[in-house]
Structure 1
Amino acid sequence: MDHRALLTSYLSNLKVDLLMADYNQCTTRWRDLDYTPDYSKFYYICGGEGWLKIGDKEYYPQPGELILMPEGVKQSYSCISERPFLKYWCHFSAKVGEINLFRVLELNHVCIPENPAAVEAAFQGITGSTQSDAVYAPLLGKSRLLELIAHYVMNHKLDEISYKNLGAARKLTAVLDYIAANIEHNITIHDLAEIAHMHPNYFMRLFKQQIGVPPIQYITRQKIDKAKDLLATTSGSVSEIADQLGFGDLFYFSRQFKKHAGLAPTEFRKQETGGVKP
């Protein structure tokens, strides 16, 4: 089963909230056992020693390692020497729709970033934003947190990422594959529910929970992405492209295109083919 489309959809619809962050040396009293946080954590170890337990797995992280401690999982930590951790850390939430990302995806808890300088820069931006009273600081913090999550995911091969609800993942993968293969046709909720072997009402709830947007909105986005490609690479008229993608009303197509792309179809084509820029 190819998870690429499903993973892309999860990540493109990800919403994050940054709760707390800092860079400091833990004290020798740094310790907590068997607690289950309702937020996720990243640690980036810069020096020292310590012990972590995430679920039933124990770790002794080394400098240069990035650790994910997902919400809803029993955890423990403690200092184990006179050289406690020196680390960047942040508390955050990451959701797709109403579901926590790490209740959907199973990722390794520890990775060694391929670009440690970029990870440290992201943490510096995150900690700086939490210490700033500028009105734009929360927005900058979220953007750097998304960057940090991207670095974490990038350090995993696709076959290293698994899905906790494999049944739902299989159904949604089949649905997304069908949408991609039939994007030039009219696709109904009934069609998709049949592929997933679900009642349409239950299917719509599951799709929005897992993907973050309703099925029709997702289909429209995919049609607009296809329209962008056709406008940039073919000579078909806007009307022909709208018809090809199943938009019966040219005005509706143009309105949806501008809503998602920020430009009218003709303006988009001019920009992509070397015409005037907006």
Structure 2
Amino acid sequence: MVPFQTCGQGAERMNRNESVIIRHRLRQLHATFSMASASELQPGKHGELLLHDQHCLVLPVTGRCEIEMEGKSTHVAEAGGLYYFREGIQTSCAVLDGEPFRFYWISFHLDAGSTEFIRLLKLPLRSRVDDPERVKTLFRQLADSRSRRTLSDELKARAVVMELVAFFLEEGLRSGEMLSEHPELQLLSGVLSYIDEHLMDALTVEELAKLAYLHPNYFITYFRSLTGLTPIQYVNQRKIEYARELLDSGELPVQEAARAIGLNNPYFSRLFKQQIGLSPRRYRQLMAERREHLEQQEKQQPALPEAGPWLEEFAWLDEPQACPPSIARKIVSLA
């Protein structure tokens, strides 16, 4: 059994495990578009700012607004930031500076698992916008989509919502509270590290539950609440991820990749195709073709002209007083 780490290497593993959990949960994030609009609030105090029974993203355009959350914490919203309000948060606001507060907003639903995961992340209210024009365009697309109801509109709207959520998370995950500060992850971190160190073994739920000092049945529920997967689903996914890395390089045959994660070849092929959509052999072949294509592209890139002759011809520019007579005559004639 691998002991739990409390410092040094343990902290490094915690960060890695945190990234693993976030990556797996983001894969399962499912947002459904509800409403979008461009709004304007006149100076003064206002009641409920948003639909508190849904998740909301707000993009201020002009003006400033002091937002009160849950009757206590306040934050001034202004252009340059993207603001996220979690489902269930009560908000009110006061428009400042005597000028209207104009903003875009969207509301959307998340499934119960994603809502709980977002709550666990404790994201900041504000995320900096690095590409304001792109973000504004996405809000406009959703606001304008109300007048169009084609069969594909729902899918298009969901894709736009997911992109806006990604814009917020890109900055929000860097500035928010780290998952490693939660006791739930501290308990799970040792289990995830143990799995990574024993990908070659046939791990069982009972074995992993002992590491967390939990009953196997409760451990399955606990593990799934944080990762979105059962323990065995997670183990199999990690095995296939590692096998992909081995096949990407092209150095190992399929049989060796299967052996490296403790699976016989038939079961490995079936599990790999189930998760990736291709057989291991076909995947390895495609990666080899991709490497060959990239190598050919590099060879076909035109070589840059040699700079030597140009530097010699125009070296006098660094010393104007040393301007060659022939060049000086050309300059005078042009003048």
Give the TM interval when normalised to the shorter protein.
0.7 to 0.9
Q: SS at 2:77's partner residue? A: coil
- Point out where structure 1 has 5 or more consecutive residues left out of the alignment: none
TM-score by length of 2: 0.73
Rounded Cα–Cα distance in structure 1 between residues aligned with 2:181 and 2:219: 15
More contact order relative to length (CA 8 Å, sep ≥ 6): 1
Amino acid at match of 1:105: L
Tell me the number of residue pairs that the alignment of Structure 1 and Structure 2 aligns: 276
Rounded Cα–Cα distance in structure 2 between residues aligned with 1:197 and 1:99: 27
Tell me, yes or no, if the aligned pair for 2:51 and 2:107 is still in contact at 8 Å.
no
- Residues 1:24 and 1:75: Cα distance change in structure 2 (over 3 Å): closer
Larger Rg: 2
Q: SS at 2:64's partner residue? A: coil
Describe the superposition over 1:97-125 as per-residue Cα deviations: whole angstroms up to 9, x where unpaired: 36533321111101221222232233234
1:138 equivalent in structure 2:
154
Amino acid at match of 2:198: N
The answer to whether structure 1 residue 19 and structure 2 residue 34 are counterparts is yes
1:204 equivalent in structure 2:
220
1:34 Cα shift?
9.9
Q: How does 1:251-270 map to 2 (within 5 A)?
A: 251-270=266-285
2:126 equivalent in structure 1:
110
Q: SS at 1:246's partner residue? A: coil
Q: Choose which of 52, 55, 64 in structure 2 pairs with 1:40.
A: 55
Amino acid at match of 1:243: R
Q: SS at 1:274's partner residue? A: helix
Tell me, yes or no, if the aligned pair for 2:44 and 2:96 is still in contact at 8 Å.
no
1:26 Cα shift?
3.5
1:28 Cα shift?
6.2
Q: How does 1:117-266 map to 2 (within 5 A)?
A: 117-156=133-172, 158=174, 160-163=176-179, 166-248=182-264, 250-266=265-281
1:204 Cα shift?
0.6
Structure number with the higher helix fraction is: 2
Tell me, yes or no, if the aligned pair for 1:16 and 1:92 is still in contact at 8 Å.
yes
> Which moves more between the two structures, 257-266 or 111-120?
111-120
TM-score by length of 1: 0.86
Root-mean-square deviation over aligned CA pairs: 2.9
Tell me, yes or no, if the aligned pair for 1:193 and 1:199 is still in contact at 8 Å.
yes
- Residues 1:79 and 1:12: Cα distance change in structure 2 (over 3 Å): same
- Residues 1:162 and 1:232: Cα distance change in structure 2 (over 3 Å): closer
Q: SS at 2:241's partner residue? A: helix
1:148 Cα shift?
1.4
1:156 Cα shift?
3.5
Rounded Cα–Cα distance in structure 2 between residues aligned with 1:160 and 1:208: 23
The percentage of aligned residue pairs carrying the same residue is 25
2:93 equivalent in structure 1:
77
Tell me, yes or no, if the aligned pair for 1:105 and 1:164 is still in contact at 8 Å.
no
> Which moves more between the two structures, 237-246 or 35-44?
35-44
Describe the superposition over 1:208-258 as per-residue Cα deviations: whole angstroms up to 9, x where unpaired: 22222222112222211111111121433322322221223x222212211
